[in-house]
C-alpha cells in the first residue's frame, strides 16, 4: 500500500523542522520533501500538524500496548526485571514476539543470571535470541570484578550495557534522598552521592574495557559532571532521564504521596535544575518514560511500603512537548531524545524521517490542551505523579511499519 502524507510539518532529528510531504510504500519511507502524491496513493492531509518519527522508549518495565500507542510509542526496550527474568534465550525470544505487529518489543537481557550480580548470563546466546542490550536491572552490581567482566563480554559481542547507578551500600532500603523533605517525613534516605559513586566506578571500568555503557537514569549534578568528563576522555557513555526527575523535586513527596515514590528517588531542587541544564546542553541522550504501572495494591500503602515507579508511557510526549514550549529544548532535539538516540543505543535502524527507514510515524497536534487525569489513563495503571497537570499536545495518528494503528 502507498500512503502520501501531505501538508505536514516534518520534524526530524537529522533533517530539522520544515513543511513538506512524506511518501510511504509498503513498510518503508520512500520520499520526503516537496513532491506530488502519486496516482492511487491513499492521502493523509496533515493540515500543518507535525509528522515525526514514532517513539522508541528505552527502559520500560512492562509491556503496556494501550498506553504505548496512546503516547505515540511503537518500540520499547524492555528491562530484564520480568517474571521470569530475561536471562534465558527462550524467555528473551518470547518477549520479543509479544507485542507484534502493533508494538515491537526489544528485550534488554539480564547481564547476570537471575539479576543476582554474581554469575554472568549467556549474553551471546541471548543476543541471538533477540536481546538488543544487557542490563543490571533495577539494581547495581556491587562486585567490581563481576561488572568488569560484564562490560568486557558485552564489548566483545557489540552490546550496550544498561546500568542502574546507585551504590547499594548507601542506598539499600532507602526510599528517599537525604534532605529536608526526607527528614521532615521521617523516611529512610540515602545521600545523593550514592549515584555518583556508582557512576564513577562504572565509567572507569567502561573506559578500561572499551564497552558502550548507558545509564538508564542519571539524576544528580555530580553524576552529569562525571559523564561530561568521561566523554572528554573518550569513554563510550550515554545516559537517560525520565520527565519525573526533570520536572519534580523531592518536595513532590509531601503528604507521603506514593505516586512520587520513584527509583531512583526524587532529588533536590538543585539537582533537578542541573538535570534541566544537562538536557539543554546535550549531556542527556534519552528521554524515557520509565513506564512501571503499579495498581492500588502496590501504591495505596504507607510510603515506605509502597512500590517505586510511575506510569509514564502516555505522558512522555506531552511532558516533553512542554519543555519545547518553554524553550528548554527544540522540537528536533526532543525527537532525538525520544526516537533517534534510543534507537541507536539499541542498534535499531529507525528514529528519523529518512528515505529507507521503517514507516514508524506519529502525527501530533502540539497545540491541543489537555489535563493528565490518573483515573482516565488507558494503560494498566494510572500511578502518575503528574495527576491534574495541564499539558499541550496529543498524538492524532500512529503508523507502525506502514499500517495505521490509531
Model pLDDT for residues 331-346, shown as the tens digit of each residue? 999 999 999 999 999 9
Query: How is residue 291 annotated by DSSP?
Result: B
User: What is the total count of domains within the chain?
Assistant: 1
Mean pLDDT value across residues 93-110: 95
Task: Tell me whether residue 190 is in a domain.
Answer: yes
Task: Tell me whether residue 29 is in a domain.
Answer: no
Q: Decide: 376 and 382 in contact? Cβ < 8 Å.
A: yes
Cα–Cα separations (whole angstroms), residue 375 to 62, 64, 327, 372, 382 = 19, 16, 30, 9, 6
N-term to C-term CA, the chain? 17
Give the structural domain span for 130: 54-351+365-391
Task: Tell me whether residue 105 is in a domain.
Answer: yes
Does the pTM exceed 0.85?
yes
User: Which tens digits make up the pLDDT trace of 133-159?
Assistant: 999 999 999 999 999 999 999 999 999
> With bands split at pLDDT 50, 70 and 90, how would you rate the model's confidence at 378?
very high
Task: Tell me whether residue 47 is in a domain.
Answer: no
pLDDT at 406 over 90: no
What percentage of the chain exceeds 90 in pLDDT?
Answer: 99
Q: How far apart are CA 319 and CA 248, in angstroms?
A: 12
Task: Tell me whether residue 250 is in a domain.
Answer: yes
For 9, half-sphere exposure in the C-beta direction (CA atoms, 13 angstrom radius) is 10
Beta strand residue intervals within 146-226, DSSP E: 160-163, 176-177, 189-190, 213-215
CATH code, domain with 276: 3.20.20.140
Query: How is residue 274 annotated by DSSP?
Result: H
pLDDT at 1 over 90: no
Residue holding cell 527507514? 357
Mean pLDDT value across residues 253-276: 97
Cα–Cα separations (whole angstroms), residue 209 to 180, 239, 309 = 40, 18, 32
pLDDT at 7 over 90: yes
Task: Tell me whether residue 9 is in a domain.
Answer: no
pLDDT at 26 over 90: yes
For 129, half-sphere exposure in the C-beta direction (CA atoms, 13 angstrom radius) is 21
Task: Tell me whether residue 10 is in a domain.
Answer: no
Task: Tell me whether residue 341 is in a domain.
Answer: yes
- Rounded to 5°, angle at Cα 320 from 99 and 240: 70
Amino acid at each position: 500500500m502507498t500512503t502520501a502524507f501531505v501538508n505536514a510539518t516534518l520534524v526530524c532529528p537529522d533533517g530539522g523542522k520544515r513543511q513538506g510531504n512524506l511518501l510511504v510504500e509498503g513498510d518503508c519511507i520512500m520520499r520526503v520533501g516537496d513532491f506530488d502524491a502519486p496516482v492511487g496513493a491513499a492521502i493523509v492531509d496533515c493540515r500543518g500538524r507535525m509528522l515525526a518519527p514514532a517513539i522508541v522508549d528505552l527502559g520500560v518495565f512492562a509491556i503496556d500496548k494501550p498506553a504505548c500507542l496512546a503516547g505515540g510509542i511503537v518500540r520499547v526496550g524492555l528491562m530484564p526485571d520480568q517474571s521470569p527474568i530475561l536471562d534465558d534465550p527462550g524467555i528473551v525470544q518470547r518477549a520479543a514476539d509479544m507485542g507484534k505487529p502493533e508494538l515491537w518489543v526489544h528485550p534488554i537481557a539480564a547481564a547476570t543470571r537471575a539479576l543476582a550480580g554474581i554469575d554472568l548470563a549467556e549474553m551471546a546466546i541471548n543476543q541471538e535470541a533477540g536481546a538488543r542490550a544487557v542490563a543490571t536491572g533495577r539494581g547495581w552490581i556491587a562486585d567490581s570484578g563481576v561488572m568488569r567482566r560484564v562490560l568486557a563480554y558485552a564489548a566483545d559481542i557489540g552490546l550496550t550495557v544498561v546500568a542502574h547507578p546507585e551504590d547499594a551500600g548507601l542506598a539499600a532500603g532507602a526510599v528517599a534522598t537525604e534532605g529536608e523533605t526526607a527528614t521532615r517525613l521521617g523516611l529512610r534516605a540515602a545521600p545523593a552521592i550514592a549515584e555518583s559513586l556508582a557512576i564513577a566506578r562504572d565509567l572507569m571500568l567502561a573506559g578500561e574495557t572499551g564497552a558502550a555503557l548507558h545509564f538508564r537514569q542519571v539524576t544528580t549534578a555530580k553524576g552529569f559532571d562525571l559523564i561530561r568528563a568521561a566523554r572528554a576522555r573518550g569513554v563510550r557513555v550515554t545516559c537517560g532521564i525520565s520527565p519525573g526527575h526533570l520536572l519534580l523535586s523531592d518536595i513532590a513527596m509531601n503528604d507521603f504521596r506514593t505516586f512520587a515514590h520513584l527509583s531512583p528517588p526524587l532529588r533536590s531542587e538543585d539537582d533537578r535544575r542541573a538535570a534541566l541544564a544537562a538536557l539543554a546542553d546535550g549531556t542527556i541522550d534519552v528521554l524515557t518514560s520509565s513506564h512501571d504501572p503499579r495498581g492500588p495494591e502496590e501504591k495505596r500503602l504507607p510510603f515506605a511500603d509502597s512500590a517505586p515507579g510511575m506510569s509514564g508511557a502516555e505522558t512522555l510526549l506531552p511532558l516533553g512537548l512542554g519543555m519545547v514550549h518553554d524553550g528548554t529544548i527544540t522540537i528536533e532535539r526532543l525527537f532525538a531524545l525520544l526516537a533517534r538516540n534510543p534507537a541507536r543505543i539499541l542498534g535499531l535502524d529507525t528514529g528519523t524521517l529518512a528515505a529507507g527507514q521503517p514507516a514508524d510515524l506519529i502525527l501530533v497536534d502540539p497545540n491541543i490542551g489537555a489535563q493528565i487525569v490518573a483515573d482516565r489513563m488507558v494503560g494498566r495503571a494510572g500511578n502518575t505523579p503528574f495527576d491534574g497537570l495541564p499539558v499541550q499536545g496529543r498524538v492524532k495518528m500512529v503508523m507502525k511499519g506502514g499500517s495505521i494503528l490509531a
